[in-house]
Amino acid sequence: MSAPKEAWSSRLGVILAVAGSAVGLGNFLRFPGLAAQYGGGAFMVAYFISLLLIGIPICWTEWTLGRFGGRKGYHSTSGIFNALLKHPAAKYLGVIGFVVPVIIYMYYVYIEAWALGYALNALMGNLSIDGKDYTTFFANFTGAGSDGVAFKFGLRDVGIFVVIVYVVNFFFIYRGISKGIEMVCKVAMPALIFIAIVILVRVLTLGTPDPAKPDQNVLNGLAYMWNPGDVAAGLKNPQLWLAAAGQIFFSLSVGFGVIITYASYLRKQDDVVLSGLTATAANEFCEVGLGGLITVPAAFVFLGAAGIVGQGTFGLGFNVLPQVFASMPAGHLFASIFFVLLFIAAVTSSLSMLQPGIAFLEEGLGIERKASVALLGLMTAVGTMFVWYFSKDLKALDTMDFWVGTVMLFVQATILVIIFGWGLGIKRGFEIAHEGAEMRIPNIFGIIIKYITPTYLVTIFVMFLLQNV
Ligand code: PFF
């Protein structure tokens, strides 16, 4: 192996890096969008069950397998699976761990560029006209191809922002694990939580802004998002279970091959059990505690339920929210810090999508970091151009997010737990997990990882197939 030895420089650093990967657009846009769409109560039941049966077990699986692989000098899922199973086919099983995050990067980074562009446009006052049609602004902003010009580069066009986010991501990925990713996350994560709390306080103190519409107040906004509704009926919908499980994957960044790669840069005796749980808890705080209380309640207060229904994740963030901020006093400031928040959250996530690719290219092709960064940059840039060009259709992005961000993940996640529970075996797996650990994995998780998680994954997946085929 030609790769130089890299490692996280501190325990807090790696926890913040994993939390940074987890906390992203998923927390502030995807989660609220889904919870509102499926009805807060039923969705949350399925969501917490998925957290227990998928999120936490796979998180521990990835931390453990990653550290195990790292000790043997491997950082890519292919290399790690191969080291574990010692079978030629194992390499190919690991390829999804490279493909999925790279594909997600291609469109995730594009939305990251929207966030940066919106932050700047908000600051310049381009998003603060009450009653303006922000759907048109958005269409023009992303408007690749609408007027025959594929890629435009003005303040009101996404182009320049795509270039900037690429430079930012590849600069830090080039600097490496501790000097790049870890350094960014140590600064970005506290900043992100601070900004989110400022926005949350603003939303929770909105009261009833329009006395003519007394129903549109904060409490009703929270109720709209969180009212349990008819939980039993909701839970009968297989699509809801799939969406909840998909959100757990997406939000915690589990099942992608990202955590396994990050954990491979741990030092030999670093704890994995408590660290994994801490990063998970940080994500849940940002998702349910912050994301869940900001986006949808704010939209409800100004626009009522009618303004939210049917908007989808991206519509909510980029069509509805600008309108919401425009109706608030000092809205342009809140809008810009909200979009800065989205941007920061997105950068720490997109960096994590690149690292598995770098590890794969370094190990698979035996090339150096510099060359793998260049190669990955080229590959992803071509992908993002496609996304950019075809993005007029928001539904297309939603659909792509669904197939790669949900369906392919099920396959990868099932492979991961089976390798841990059956390939390595729970006893041996837990022994490895417990080396250097500051807490033990409760025994019940042995049964969960070996039997319940794979069954749960396969059941949800089959239910979904039966519905959709
Ligand atoms: N967890 C990120 C979010 O919630 O926005 C998204 C993400 C990060 C997905 C890393 C996949 C991944 F590999």
Question: Is residue 382 over pLDDT 90?
Answer: yes
349, 360, 404: which is closest to 104 by C-alpha?
404
Bigger pLDDT: 128 vs 341? 341
Contact present, 248 and 51 (Cβ < 8 Å):
yes
pLDDT the model gives residue 72: 93
Ligand 1, atom 11, lies closest to the CA of: 253
The predicted-structure confidence for 243-259, as pLDDT tens digits, reads as follows 899 899 999 999 999 99
Question: Is residue 404 over pLDDT 90?
Answer: no
Question: Is residue 273 over pLDDT 60?
Answer: yes
Extract the tokens encoding 264. 């491979």
Q: Which of 26-40, 208-222, 259-273 has the highest mean pLDDT?
A: 259-273
pLDDT the model gives residue 68: 94
- Please compute the mean of the pLDDT values over residues 123-149 and round it to a whole number: 75
Question: Is residue 147 over pLDDT 70?
Answer: no
Extract the tokens encoding 73. 């000098």
What lines the ligand 1 site, CB under 6 Å? 21-22, 24-27, 101, 104, 250-251, 253, 256, 258, 349, 352-353
Confidence band for 3, pLDDT divided at 50, 70 and 90: very low
Question: Is residue 149 over pLDDT 70?
Answer: no
Q: Is 367 exposed, middle or buried (0-12, 13-18, 19+ CB in 10 A)?
A: middle
Per-domain boundaries in the chain: 11-468
pLDDT the model gives residue 2: 41
Distance CA 88, CA 93 (A): 10
Distance CA 283, CA 249 (A): 12
> What is the architecture of the domain spanning 11-468?
Up-down Bundle (1.20)
Q: How far is the CA of 65 from the centre of ligand 1 (A)?
A: 19
Distance CA 256, CA 462 (A): 20
Q: How far is the CA of 220 from the centre of ligand 1 (A)?
A: 30
Q: Give the ipTM of the model, two decimals please.
A: 0.99
pLDDT the model gives residue 125: 86
CA angle 104, 106, 109 (to 5 degrees): 95
Bigger pLDDT: 129 vs 452? 452
**Residue type at position 114:** W
- Please compute the mean of the pLDDT values over residues 307-321 and round it to a whole number: 81
pLDDT the model gives residue 146: 59
Ligand 1, atom 12, lies closest to the CA of: 253
Confidence band for 468, pLDDT divided at 50, 70 and 90: low
Question: Is residue 290 over pLDDT 60?
Answer: yes
- 3-class DSSP string for the chain: CCCCCCCCCCHHHHHHHHHHHHCCHHHHHHHHHHHHHHCHHHHHHHHHHHHHHHHHHHHHHHHHHHHHHHHCCCCCHHHHHHHHHCCHHHHHHCCHHHHHHHHHHHHHHHHHHHHHHHHHHHHCCCCCCCCCCHHHHHHHHHCCCCCCCCCCCCCCCCHHHHHHHHHHHHHHHHHCHHHHHHHHHHHHHHHHHHHHHHHHHHHHCCCCCCCCCCCCCHHHHHHHHHCCCCHHHHHCCHHHHHHHHHHHHHHHCCCCCHHHHHHCCCCCCCCCHHHHHHHHHHHHHHHHHHHHHHHHHHHHHHHCHHHCCCCHHHHHHHHHHHHHHHCCCCHHHHHHHHHHHHHHHHHHHHHHHHHHHHHHHHHHHCCCHHHHHHHHHHHHHHHHHHHHHHCCCHHHHHHHHHHHHHHHHHHHHHHHHHHHHHHHHHHHHHHHHHCCCCCCCCCHHHHHHHHHHHHHHHHHHHHHHHHHC
252, 264, 262: which is closest to 354 by C-alpha?
262
Distance CA 321, CA 325 (A): 6
The predicted-structure confidence for 78-89, as pLDDT tens digits, reads as follows 999 999 888 888
Instruction: Choose one of 18, 28, 103, 352 to mutate for the ligand 1 pocket test, by most ligand atoms within 8 angstroms of C-beta.
Output: 352
Question: Is residue 395 over pLDDT 80?
Answer: no
Residues whose CB falls within 8 Å of the CB of residue 77, separated by 6 or more in sequence, listed in order: 93, 94, 95, 96, 97, 98, 257, 260, 261, 356, 360
Distance CA 160, CA 147 (A): 18
Confidence band for 151, pLDDT divided at 50, 70 and 90: low
Bigger pLDDT: 269 vs 390? 269
Q: Give just the sign of the alpha carbon dihedral 290, 281, 27, 261.
A: positive
Q: How far is the CA of 199 from the centre of ligand 1 (A)?
A: 22
Q: How far is the CA of 101 from the centre of ligand 1 (A)?
A: 8
Range of weakest confidence among 115-119, 206-210, 316-320, 398-402:
398-402
Distance CA 221, CA 203 (A): 10
- Please compute the mean of the pLDDT values over residues 5-21 and round it to a whole number: 94
Q: How far is the CA of 358 from the centre of ligand 1 (A)?
A: 17
Q: Ligand 1, closest atom to CA 252? A: 1
- Please compute the mean of the pLDDT values over residues 433-449 and round it to a whole number: 94
Question: Is residue 1 over pLDDT 70?
Answer: no
